[in-house]
C-alpha cells in the first residue's frame, strides 16, 4: 500500500512574463490575437533581424528572484538550445543553460490541516530561475492531415522556475502553485492564468520505499494546466509507479508522459531512441548583461506591496476584519481596486464592503472572474461616497455599479439623468406613507395587533411608490411614528 512508499516530486513551472513586447523583438506579446498577427521576420525564423533583449523582461526576472529569496546572478548570458520542431521557427530556443538569472531560492508553503492536526509549514527550495523564449502553437487539422502553425506565441518571454525534488504530496504541489501565483501576480510579473497557458507546470515524479535515500525511476508529466488535473495526475502516476514496483507487471522507465484528464490516465509520449542532444552554446548575438546591486535596489524599490504585507496593513493599520482582508489581499485585481478606490474615498470599511458585497455579487451575476473585473476603482469610490453621504440609497448605488460594469457609466451623470437622487423630503414621504397606509388597512391592523414584521412590507410599498429612491431608514422611522400616532 501507499504507506510503505514515499512520493518524491520536483516541479518545473513555466510562467509567461507580463511584458508588452516579446523577448527579442518588438512584436506584441498579448494573448488572444488572430493567428500570425503578432510576428516579424525575427520571431518567425527569417534571417537578417538580430535579436535585441527586452529590458522589462530582465527586470521581471530579477523581481522573480526577489520574491523567491533567490541569489541573483551578477552576469547573465543567453544560449541556443538546438532542436527541430514546427513550433520552433529558428531551429533553436534562446534560453539560459550556462547562467540562469536566479539560483538557490525558496518559498514557504502551508498545507491544510487534517484530523485536528495544525497546518504545517514546509519550505520548498528552488534550484534556479531562468529566462527563455516560448514556442509557437500547433493546431492539428484532422481533415487535411496537416498541422497548422501559429507563431504569435514564439519568443514571448518566459521564466522557468525549477524546484528541487522537495514535494511529497499533491497538497504541497497545489499550495506551492497557489503561493507562486500570489507572489508573481502581486509583483506584476505575470497574470498566471493557467487556463490561458500563462502558467504551465511539468511534474517530475518518482517513488521510493520510506527511509530510502536513493531516488527511484522518475517520469515527467508535461504541460499540466489546472490544479485539479494535477492532483488527479499525481494520484494516478504515483500509484502506477507503486504498482509497477510491487507487481512487476509493468517496467518503469524514465520517460515523458502526458495526462489525459478524460480517461484519467497517463500515456507514454512517442519514445525516442536516444536522448536528444541539444548542443547548447552561448548565443553570440546577445551580449552579456551585468546586474549590479544598484539595479537590483532600483527594482526592489519599485515593487508593488506583496500580498502578505497588504494583509497585515489591512488588519493592523486599517483595522479591517481578518476574513475580509484575506479575501481582498489574496487577489491582485481586488487589491488593486481596493487600493485605488481608497485614494478617492478614504473609508476602508466602506470600500471593503462594496468590493466583497456588491462588486462580487454583480461580477458573479455577469459571469466575470475576479481577475477580469475591469471597472474603474474611482467610480466605485464615488458610488460608495454618495451612498455614505446620503445622496443616493444603497439599492440605487448597486444599480449604478451594475451600469458601471455593463456600459462603463459615469455614476454622477447616470444618477442625474435618471433622477435617482435619494428622496429624503419628510413632507413628501409622509404623504406617500399616508397613501400606503390607507391602501393597506389589513396590514395596518396586523401591525396594531402586534405583528412587527408587516412593517417591512409597508416600507417596501413606500419604496415601490418612490421608484426605490426613498431613504429607507427615514421611511422606517416616519412609518413607525405615523403608526404609533394613529394608534
Report the nearest approach of another protein to the CB of residue 410 (Å).
Answer: 30
Of the CA atoms within 13 Å of residue 233, those in its CB half-sphere come to: 29
Q: How far apart are CA 59 and CA 142, in angstroms?
A: 42
Of the CA atoms within 13 Å of residue 456, those in its CB half-sphere come to: 3
Q: Where are the alpha helices (DSSP H) in 280-393?
A: 293-302, 307-312, 322-329, 332-344, 348-354, 360-365, 377-388
Q: Are strands 79-82 and 281-282 parallel, antiparallel or unpaired?
A: antiparallel
Q: Any residues with CB less than 8 A from the CB of 164 and at least 6 apart, and which?
A: 10, 124, 125, 126, 127
Report the nearest approach of another protein to the CB of residue 40 (Å).
Answer: 6
Output the DSSP codes for 165-229. S-B-SHHHHHHHHHHHHHHHHHTTS----GGGTSEEEEEEEEEEETT--S----EEEEEE--HHH
**Binding-residue total with another protein (CB under 8 A):** 71
- The nearer residue to another protein, 266 or 466, going by C-beta atoms, is 266
In 3D space, the residue among 360, 361, 424, 417 whose CA is nearest the CA of residue 392 turns out to be 424
Report the nearest approach of another protein to the CB of residue 155 (Å).
Answer: 13
When binding is defined by CB under 8 A, the residue of 2, 4, 71, 86 that contacts another protein is 86
Q: Which of residues 3-22 bind another protein (CB under 8 A)?
A: 19-21
When binding is defined by CB under 8 A, the residue of 108, 113, 121, 148 that contacts another protein is 148
String marking each residue 241-260 x if it binds another protein according to CB under 8 A: -----------------x--
When binding is defined by CB under 8 A, the residue of 150, 172, 191, 471 that contacts another protein is 150
- The nearer residue to another protein, 298 or 435, going by C-beta atoms, is 298
> Is residue 234 exposed (0-12), middle (13-18) or buried (19+ Cβ within 10 Å)?
buried
Stretch that binds another protein, among 52-60, 106-114, 320-328, 455-463 (CB under 8 A): 52-60
When binding is defined by CB under 8 A, the residue of 113, 138, 253, 366 that contacts another protein is 138
When binding is defined by CB under 8 A, the residue of 1, 84, 271, 317 that contacts another protein is 84
Stretch that binds another protein, among 4-12, 143-151, 228-236, 326-334 (CB under 8 A): 143-151
Q: How far apart are CA 429 and CA 465, in angstroms?
A: 10
Asked if 171 and 206 count as a contact pair (C-beta separation under 8 A), the reply is no
Cα–Cα separations (whole angstroms), residue 60 to 43, 157, 185, 193, 229: 21, 10, 11, 17, 29
32 makes contact with another protein (CB under 8 A):
no
Find the farthest-apart pair of alpha carbons in the chain and give their distance in angstroms, rounded: 96
Asked if 44 and 154 count as a contact pair (C-beta separation under 8 A), the reply is yes
143 makes contact with another protein (CB under 8 A):
no
Q: How far apart are CA 288 and CA 292, in angstroms?
A: 13
161 makes contact with another protein (CB under 8 A):
no
Report the nearest approach of another protein to the CB of residue 270 (Å).
Answer: 6
When binding is defined by CB under 8 A, the residue of 2, 49, 297, 467 that contacts another protein is 49
CB neighbours (10 Å) of residue 331? 20
Q: Are strands 219-224 and 255-260 parallel, antiparallel or unpaired?
A: parallel
Q: Which of residues 413-472 bind another protein (CB under 8 A)?
A: none
When binding is defined by CB under 8 A, the residue of 31, 36, 304, 465 that contacts another protein is 36
Asked if 57 and 19 count as a contact pair (C-beta separation under 8 A), the reply is yes
**DSSP structural state of residue 343:** H
In degrees and rounded to multiples of 5, residue 168 shows phi and psi of -120, -20
Q: Which of residues 64-83 bind another protein (CB under 8 A)?
A: 73-75, 77, 80, 82
When binding is defined by CB under 8 A, the residue of 11, 13, 15, 51 that contacts another protein is 51
Q: How far apart are CA 454 and CA 24, in angstroms?
A: 70
Report the nearest approach of another protein to the CB of residue 132 (Å).
Answer: 16
Of the CA atoms within 13 Å of residue 460, those in its CB half-sphere come to: 7
Q: How far apart are CA 404 and CA 156, in angstroms?
A: 34
When binding is defined by CB under 8 A, the residue of 6, 12, 31, 56 that contacts another protein is 56
Strand arrangement, sheet containing 281-282: 92-95, 79-82, 281-282
Q: Which of residues 463-482 bind another protein (CB under 8 A)?
A: none
Report the nearest approach of another protein to the CB of residue 244 (Å).
Answer: 23
Stretch that binds another protein, among 86-94, 175-183, 194-202, 478-486 (CB under 8 A): 86-94
When binding is defined by CB under 8 A, the residue of 3, 32, 34, 452 that contacts another protein is 34
- The nearer residue to another protein, 84 or 323, going by C-beta atoms, is 84
Q: Any residues with CB less than 8 A from the CB of 83 and at least 6 apart, and which?
A: 91, 92, 93, 276, 278
Report the nearest approach of another protein to the CB of residue 131 (Å).
Answer: 13
When binding is defined by CB under 8 A, the residue of 2, 4, 46, 435 that contacts another protein is 46
Q: Which of residues 259-318 bind another protein (CB under 8 A)?
A: 269-270, 277-290
When binding is defined by CB under 8 A, the residue of 13, 64, 68, 92 that contacts another protein is 92
Report the nearest approach of another protein to the CB of residue 48 (Å).
Answer: 5
Stretch that binds another protein, among 62-70, 138-146, 331-339, 367-375 (CB under 8 A): 138-146
- The nearer residue to another protein, 283 or 329, going by C-beta atoms, is 283
Amino acid at each position: 500500500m501507499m504507506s510503505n512508499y514515499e512520493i518524491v516530486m520536483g516541479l518545473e513551472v513555466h510562467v509567461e512574463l507580463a511584458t508588452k513586447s516579446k523577448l527579442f523583438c518588438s512584436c506584441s506579446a498579448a494573448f488572444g490575437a488572430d493567428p500570425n498577427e503578432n510576428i516579424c521576420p525575427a520571431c518567425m525564423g527569417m534571417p537578417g533581424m538580430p535579436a535585441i533583449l527586452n529590458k522589462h523582461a530582465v527586470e521581471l526576472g530579477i523581481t522573480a528572484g526577489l520574491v523567491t529569496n533567490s541569489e541573483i546572478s551578477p552576469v547573465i548570458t543567453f544560449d541556443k538550445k538546438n532542436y527541430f520542431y514546427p513550433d520552433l521557427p529558428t531551429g533553436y530556443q534562446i534560453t539560459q543553460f550556462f547562467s540562469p538569472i536566479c539560483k538557490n531560492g525558496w518559498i514557504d508553503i502551508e498545507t491544510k490541516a487534517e484530523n485536528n492536526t495544525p497546518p504545517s509549514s514546509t519550505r520548498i527550495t528552488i534550484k534556479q530561475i531562468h529566462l527563455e523564449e516560448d514556442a509557437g502553437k500547433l493546431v492539428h487539422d484532422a481533415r487535411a492531415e496537416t498541422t497548422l502553425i501559429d507563431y504569435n506565441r514564439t519568443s514571448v518571454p518566459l521564466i522557468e522556475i525549477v524546484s528541487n525534488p522537495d514535494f511529497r504530496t499533491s497538497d504541497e504541489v497545489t499550495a506551492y502553485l497557489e503561493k507562486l501565483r500570489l507572489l508573481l501576480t502581486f509583483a506584476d510579473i505575470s497574470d498566471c492564468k493557467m487556463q490561458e497557458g500563462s502558467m504551465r507546470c511539468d511534474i517530475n515524479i518518482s517513488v521510493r520505499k520510506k527511509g530510502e535515500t536513493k531516488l527511484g525511476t522518475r517520469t515527467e508529466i508535461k504541460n499540466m494546466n489546472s490544479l485539479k488535473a494535477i492532483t488527479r495526475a499525481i494520484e494516478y502516476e504515483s500509484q502506477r509507479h507503486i504498482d509497477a514496483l510491487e507487481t512487476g507487471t509493468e517496467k518503469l522507465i524514465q520517460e515523458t508522459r502526458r495526462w489525459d484528464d478524460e480517461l484519467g490516465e497517463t500515456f507514454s509520449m512517442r519514445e525516442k531512441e536516444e536522448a536528444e542532444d541539444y548542443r547548447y552554446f552561448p548565443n553570440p548575438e546577445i551580449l552579456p548583461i551585468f546586474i549590479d546591486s544598484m539595479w537590483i535596489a532600483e527594482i526592489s524599490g519599485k515593487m508593488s506591496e506583496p500580498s502578505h504585507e497588504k494583509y497585515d496593513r489591512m488588519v493592523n493599520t486599517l483595522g479591517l476584519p481578518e476574513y475580509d482582508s484575506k479575501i481582498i489581499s489574496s487577489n491582485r485585481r481586488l487589491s488593486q481596486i481596493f487600493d485605488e478606490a481608497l485614494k478617492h474615498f478614504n473609508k476602508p470599511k466602506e470600500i471593503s464592503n462594496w468590493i466583497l458585497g456588491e462588486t462580487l455579487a454583480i461580477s458573479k451575476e455577469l459571469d466575470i472572474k475576479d481577475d477580469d473585473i475591469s471597472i474603474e476603482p474611482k467610480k466605485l469610490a464615488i458610488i460608495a461616497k454618495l451612498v455614505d453621504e446620503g445622496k443616493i440609497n444603497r439599492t440605487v448605488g448597486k444599480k449604478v455599479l451594475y451600469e458601471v460594469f455593463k456600459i462603463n457609466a459615469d455614476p454622477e451623470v447616470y444618477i442625474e439623468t435618471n433622477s435617482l437622487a435619494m428622496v429624503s423630503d419628510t413632507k413628501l414621504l409622509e404623504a406617500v406613507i399616508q397613501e400606503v397606509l390607507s391602501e393597506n388597512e389589513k396590514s395596518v391592523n396586523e401591525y396594531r395587533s402586534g405583528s412587527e414584521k408587516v412593517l417591512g412590507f409597508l416600507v417596501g410599498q413606500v419604496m415601490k411608490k418612490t421608484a426605490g429612491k426613498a431613504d429607507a431608514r427615514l421611511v422606517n422611522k416616519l412609518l413607525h411614528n405615523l403608526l404609533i400616532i394613529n394608534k
